[in-house]
A and B are shown apart, each in its own frame.
Chain A
Amino acid sequence: MEFEVVIGLETHVQLATQSKIFCGASAAYGGYPNEYVDPLTLALPGTLPVANEKVIEAAIMMGIATDCRIRRFSRFARKHYYYPDLPKGYQISQYDEPICEDGTVEIKLSTGQRRTIRLKRIHMEEDAGKNIHDPRTESSLVDLNRAGVPLLEVVTEPDLRSPAEAAEYLRTMRQIVRFLGVSDGNMEEGSLRCDANISLRPIGQEAYGTRTEIKNLNSFKFVERALEYEIARQQSVLRGGGVIVQETLLFDSASGTTRSMRGKEESADYRYFPDPDLPPVVVEEEWIARIRESMPALPADLRRKLVNEYGLSEYDAEVLTAERATVDYYLGVVAAGKNPKIAANWVTTELFGALKRDGLGIEEAAVSAARLGELVLLIEEGIISGKIAKSVFEEMWSSEKSAGAIIEEKGLRQNSDEGEIAKLIEEVLNTNQTQLSQYLGGNERLFPFFVGQCMKATKGMANPTVVNRLLQEALKRRVAG
């Protein structure tokens, strides 16, 4: 029997706001235990939550970025359970009135095929703290730094059809949140978390099969591996005539397998009810419009601009929009350098090469976008040749000098004087009679030789484009006459 794989993902995006979602305590990462707490984080008696507007903004941005319907009224709800990392004994989340619903995310597979994944909902909630189990003292230590950090939960419809698609969806999610600037989107660090729901159904069947939920997926690779393992497991159960038990599984990265979370109460009753301490979240059209106008551009939109307006290839557009810092840099170069294609070329080859060689991120580039743009402009205006520009760039990288300064210092302006070049060409042709005859006899492959002689005579400073053109003309005249 052949099965179709049906996957849905629940992604938690940890927002990079300054403060927590319901109080002013810091939402930063990496403090010493219980450094970023205040009375509300500790759930002291009498404390009350107040919604952080930046979190609502982030949710609206995500909703706009994914074409969701953004609710005019949405509510916070209390979700109750007891665990030491949940100080109030309930998590403030959203239940049946989430802020965003019915969106889409477009993913591009390695085959080039594009798929649209539907989003069921996006809602706001608070993160829990961390429990650390200390085997030496047989006690648990509770660190509440993370308690109250804002999360967006993004839930897809079960539209994904393979582990590769799931990984690609997560990569796209990561790119979106990084471009919007709402999160670092880092799975290894926990700012992007994913639980996967997977089921199989016989090809052609409409009804979904029983699904299992897989937790503890800490990287894109682990997501793929866990899903691949679970597909194989479910297949063998079903082919053997068994049934899938609806359960929650933990992925064990060491063995590459999924294991049942035995002993965990599966059907907890969270006793959801609307949180009476928080008024409904009201999002008017004009707030959405203001955010739409001021929010960062999305990768898909930027790619389209690079291809349609700047004439770049799809491939280059993807490379340049992989990270927001990269596209910001590139656009900075274009702003100063005017020619988007030269700019694209320089960013993807020379700049990337230098960064890789020195092990730097683009934010640490030794040449700023504006400075590189100046260099591009000099090439565009024909002031220096592309070849000379390469050595200028190297000097810019190591010396922090501007292109203009280096060119003046070293006299690197290329010679575009047509009169001089024409004279030079005549000289070269006259002193190389043998080759000239051969050329005129039909050996056109000697053309670069003459070019080379010209460049040698001028120590590389002649404008190669001009040399080429005038040499062509000079040779034509000789052929004719």
Chain B
Amino acid sequence: MSGTLSPELSVVDAARLIASGEASSVEVTSYFLDRIEAHRDLNAFIEVPRERALAEAAEADAERARGGRAPLLGVPIAVKDLILTKGVRTTAASKILSNFVPPYDATVVTKLREAGAVIVGKTNLDEFAMGSSNETSYFGPVKNPWDRERVPGGSSGGSAAAVAARLAPAALGTDTGGSIRQPASLCGIVGMKPTYGRVSRYGVVAYASSLDQVGPMTRTVADCAVLSTILSGRDPHDATSSARTVPDFSAACGRSVKGLRIGIPKEYFVSGLSPEVKEAVLRVAATLEAQGAIPVEISLPHSEVGLAVYYVLAPAEASSNLARYDGIRYGHRSPEAKGLTEVYRKTRSEGFGKEVKRRIVIGSFVLSSGYYDAYYLKAQKTRTLIARDFSDAFRDHCDLIIAPTSPTTAFKFNEKTADPLAMYLNDIFTIPVNLAGLPGMSVPCGFDQAGLPIGVQFIGRPFDEETLFAAAAAYEQADPSARRAPAGIE
């Protein structure tokens, strides 16, 4: 094994190593496969197709020998098990898809493959992406590498834990109400949700169609930029994907933040926010100010109703998107069922977990005749008001918004499972960003007294990921103290 392999290998490092011939993809991929195996206790992965990954790595090496120059040639990447991988089981962490092997790749997977990447495994998540702690997975909870008695966050808990524990240089996550950013924050890594429409949703198990996006979870901002550039772009298979040109996000990482007006929403810094988190976030603003940025207090008046709007709209769309899981064409079908009604009822009762059922019921209710106007329609209208808060702020006051990602650091298992609403509050700062379709990135910015990671969130104008990368890179460079590895992951 090459002496240059270490857990700290970033995507950029690994790509360079392989391209230069210093290490082979097979070496690098085996190295991470072994790490995944060594840290199985984290339960970060649902499926690790070892043979297939090594075969892909061997093919990458052959491609390199032929002169191949793809940007991620031979680099192992983990993929959230909500994203379809052809020939590799994709479960959405649900019993109802526990036997599902897709016949096609998601567009984001195709893009990774075209960039030469090796898919090293499918990471664990909250079932159907519904959750903020990775405690609802049919395959068991994921442990936070910083403290194995605590949650990694969710729904992309597996991807966050995998990257934090250095089991893969990077992972793909999805984010509907914070599911990339919040676990990134709780696990001390970088996670970005692009502008809605930036990245194709084709081949991603749908939760809430008007909110879902795929994004990279990495340890460095530079890695995040590389992956973002590769993943973005119009897809003819996704009518909601944008035709906007995709800039080279890596180039934005070196931009100066001088003169950048950074909005600090006053509504976010009120009760419920941990004082350590508040302090860490304000420190980030100060760090950027020292580089010439201009912090500005702003108001996002409708912040308070974001959670309610989300928990009407997302379940509504989910109740519709999950109607197809009926035991007829694929997935689990109840062996006990006799007759059509039983096939439907038993399959879905057996196949879905409690939180998924809860949201399907809520969603069906708010769409039902007699309640549609009061709930769904009203929520949609309120959503417009929330989006307008942001566009007004960006138009009149600031170029970037800074906020906490999560109100707290990682909490203990079962701490919030008794009351769904307590769990829902975890996404209070991330949800409005999905509702408004804006890009948002969480970057590690410190630790609390218990040594648990704190994340800061950057929020930008639609399609202005470049400003996020500029600010995040500037912050990361100015304050490398946040970049530590958790103990116990050697």
Residues of A at the B interface (CB closer than 8 Å) are 39, 42-51, 78, 80, 82, 84, 87-90, 140, 142, 269, 271-273, 276-279
Contacts and interface: CB of A to CB of B under 8 A. Distances in A.
Given A88-B323, A276-B210, A50 B237 contact: yes
Contact of A43 (B83, B202, B319, B329): B329
Given A87-B324, A89-B324, A271-B364, A277 B103 contact: no
Interface stretch (B43-51, B56-64, B367-375): B367-375
A416 to B, nearest CB: 67
Contacts of B323: 80, 82, 88-90
B239 A84 contact: no
A74 to B, nearest CB: 15
Contacts of A42: 329-330
Contacts of B330: 42, 44
A276 B317 contact: yes
Contacts of B340: 84, 140
Contacts of A78: 320
A269 B238 CA distance: 29
A90 B236 CA distance: 23
B82 to A, nearest CB: 9
Given A45-B324, A46-B102, A273-B372, 9 more contacts: A46-B106, A47-B202, A84-B328, A88-B324, A89-B323, A89-B326, A271-B369, A276-B317, A279-B240
Contacts of A43: 324, 329
Interface in B79-119: 83-84, 90, 92, 97, 100, 102-104, 106
Nearest to A40: B237
Contact of B204 (A46, A51, A82): A46
Given A39-B103, A43-B324, A276-B317, A48 B84 contact: no
Contacts of A89: 320, 323-324, 326
B206 to A, nearest CB: 7
B436 interface: no
B456 interface: no
Contacts of A46: 83-84, 102, 106, 201-206
Nearest to A268: B369
Contacts of B329: 42-44, 87, 142
B209 interface: yes
A49 B237 CA distance: 8
B207 to A, nearest CB: 11
Nearest to B329: A42
17 contacts: A43-B324, A44-B102, A44-B103, A44-B330, A45-B100, A45-B102, A46-B203, A48-B206, A87-B329, A89-B320, A90-B323, A269-B369, A271-B367, A272-B367, A276-B208, A276-B209, A276-B210
B367 A273 contact: yes
Leading 10 A-B pairs by shortest Cβ distance: A89-B323, A271-B367, A276-B209, A276-B210, A46-B203, A45-B205, A43-B324, A269-B369, A50-B239, A46-B84
A80 B103 contact: no
Contacts of A273: 316, 320, 367, 372, 376
B411 interface: no
B413 interface: no
Contacts of A272: 367, 372
A475 B299 CA distance: 111
B314 to A, nearest CB: 11
B203 A279 contact: no
Given A39-B103, A80-B320, A45 B84 contact: yes
A51 B239 contact: yes
Interface of B: 83-84, 90, 92, 97, 100, 102-104, 106, 201-206, 208-210, 236-240, 316-317, 319-320, 323-324, 326, 328-330, 340, 344, 364, 367-369, 372, 376
B96 to A, nearest CB: 10
Nearest to B212: A276
A51 B329 CA distance: 24
A84 B340 CA distance: 8
Interface of A is mostly: loop
A277 B206 CA distance: 10
B450 to A, nearest CB: 38
Contacts of B376: 273
B39 to A, nearest CB: 28
Nearest to A34: B329
B239 A45 contact: no
Contact of A45 (B92, B209, B236, B367): B92
B326 A82 contact: yes
A276 B372 CA distance: 16
- Residue of B97, B317, B320 with most chain A CB atoms under a 10 A cut-off: B320
Contact of B328 (A142, A278, A279): A142
Given A50-B236, A82-B323, A45 B210 contact: no
Contacts of A90: 320, 323
- Residue of A46, A140, A142, A278 with most chain B CB atoms under a 10 A cut-off: A46
A269 B344 contact: no
Contacts of B208: 276
B20 to A, nearest CB: 36
A48 B238 contact: yes
Given A46-B204, A46-B206, A276-B210, A82 B239 contact: no
Contact of B104 (A39, A51, A277, A279): A39
- Residue of A44, A47, A90 with most chain B CB atoms under a 10 A cut-off: A44
B274 to A, nearest CB: 34
A87 B325 CA distance: 9
A48 to B, nearest CB: 5
A87 B367 CA distance: 20
Nearest to A271: B367
A43 to B, nearest CB: 4
B169 to A, nearest CB: 25
A88 B326 CA distance: 9
Nearest to B365: A271
A49 B367 CA distance: 21
Contacts of B209: 276-277
Contacts of B202: 46-48
A271 B70 CA distance: 47
Nearest to A45: B205
A272 B376 CA distance: 11
Contact of B368 (A47, A50, A269): A269
A90 to B, nearest CB: 6
A58 B261 CA distance: 51
Contacts of A278: 239-240
Contacts of B106: 46
B112 to A, nearest CB: 15
A80 B318 CA distance: 13
Contacts of B104: 39, 44
Contact of B240 (A44, A87, A277): A277
A271 B326 contact: no
A212 B106 CA distance: 47
Nearest to A22: B239
Contacts of B100: 45
Given A140-B340, A276-B210, A49 B84 contact: no
B239 A277 contact: yes
Nearest to B128: A45
B272 to A, nearest CB: 30
